[in-house]
Structure 1
Amino acid sequence: MAGSIRARAASAVAKLKQHGEHDEAAAIESLLAPRGYLLLKRTEEGSTDPLSITVSAMLKQAINQTAEEWDLVTDALAEEAYRLVLDGKWVPAEVGRAGTGKRGTKAVLQVNVDSELRGQVQGMLPALSKKVGYRVTEANIVLTHVCEELGIERPNTAAVEQLATRLPRSLRDHFHGEAERLGLELPAIVEDGIRGLLDGKWQPERHPYFTVDKRGPQRGSWSEADRANLKVRVDRNLLASMRARLEELSEQLGYLVSPGTVLYLILTDRLGVPAE
């Protein structure tokens, strides 16, 4: 049979969709996604446990949309987080107290994790919490890793003077290259954009996960891209003022606007995107 297994599976997905078999198509797409093999592996090796995490509706929306954009499976990311903790390679940072802003709509983010793996991590959490000096929970393990992998800043976990997001490496390199070509520094560009946002001279309108051609979120539109972190340090007071506006801005635009979202929108507005 000609063609790679991935190509043939992708062809099968297309045919299933043509015949209205969307659930079956989605199952194959999940296995084709990065780390998707973990889902099949664990169904062969043992049972899974559901973990339900209460988050804001906008954070859940941002996680689901970004995972779809990258063609990543949240269950696989969650399981990866447990393994990192179990192997002693990573511990989530302490989560700060929630602010005094308005209470938004809550939602439940559910992930399924290998039962044996989850039990092993549960057993080590008391000792781990004592070692690091703060309470480490399953919800914090999963949410922190998922958000880090997707480039989404969780509320109350922010670096004081830093904006961060995760992008295709080609887009990150484009931003650095364009700034250098114009004789500008990324922090100066971002700070100018934040000031425009605060004084009303600039209003972001596009959805943060629009693809380059602006057709809107599409499953796997960045799935083949090599991901890279982009971090920009800005004035502490300016960043604090911006963060205070994010809840209001999220309500206005109808999607979660995180500091990383603002970073992405400012840079695409000022520096454009790479030509296809």
Structure 2
Amino acid sequence: MARNTKRDVERTRAHIELGAAKLRAGGDPQIADTLEALLQPYGYRLLVVDRAPARDGQNDMNLAISVAEPLRAAILAEADRTESNLSAVLTDGLQRALDGKWTPPPASRARRNSGIVKVNLNVPVDADTLKSLRAKLPEMTGRLGYKVTPPQIALSWLVQEFGLEEQLND
């Protein structure tokens, strides 16, 4: 993501001020007020949807999932589009894997030196569910015939839930 320079910010602020003045003069004071509100300290928050967590978060533990940068962006965009709470979606998937109601596929590996940039997708999940899953990993690995880890299970679940299978191999 490109960084804004001081000059870029000043130009954008000037454009918003000019737009607000033109709208006010043109008979659209409500739109002008909205633009001016964006210029106030923390005005950018008017552009961000407040989300109440689906859970109280008291018993959550962070799960870091290493994922290709474009796939993380796609997961976040799809969660946003569907107004899904990633914590709730992921806790549900981990619980289904733990209960044997869903079987995670084997992990796909990126080729070495492929140039794929990996980043972390950090999602809080229910700590008890995650601890129980970790305790059951040796049994799951033996039964499935391939190694499973909480991040691999989590990524597989999110990709399936949001219909992003084609992006997994990009």
Instruction: Give the TM interval when normalised to the shorter protein.
Output: 0.5 to 0.7
Structure 2 unaligned spans of 5+: 1-36
1:59 equivalent in structure 2: 71
1:92 equivalent in structure 2: 104
2:119 equivalent in structure 1: 107
Task: Assess if the C-alpha contact under 8 Å between 1:56 and 1:105 holds in 2.
Answer: yes
1:130 equivalent in structure 2: 142
Output the CA distance in 1 between the equivalents of 2:138 and 2:47: 40
Instruction: Report the Cα offset of residue 27 of structure 1.
Output: 2.8
Structure 1 residue ranges (4+ consecutive) displaced by more than 4 angstroms after TM superposition: 17-25
Task: Name the TM-score, length of structure 2 as normaliser.
Answer: 0.66
Output the CA distance in 2 between the equivalents of 1:142 and 1:112: 11
Q: Out of 140, 152, 160, which is 1:140 matched to?
A: 152
Output the CA distance in 2 between the equivalents of 1:104 and 1:87: 33
SS in 2 for 1:139: helix
Task: Name the TM-score, length of structure 1 as normaliser.
Answer: 0.42
Structure 1 unaligned spans of 5+: 1-16, 32-36, 157-257, 259-276
Alignment of 1:161-240 (within 5 A): none
Instruction: Report the Cα offset of residue 76 of structure 1.
Output: 1.3
Output the CA distance in 2 between the equivalents of 1:56 and 1:98: 9
CA RMSD for the aligned pairs?
2.6
What fraction of aligned residue pairs are identical, expressed as a percent?
Answer: 26
Bigger RCO (CA 8 Å, 6+ sep): 2
Task: Assess if the C-alpha contact under 8 Å between 2:65 and 2:152 holds in 1.
Answer: no
Q: Out of 30, 46, 71, which is 2:83 matched to?
A: 71
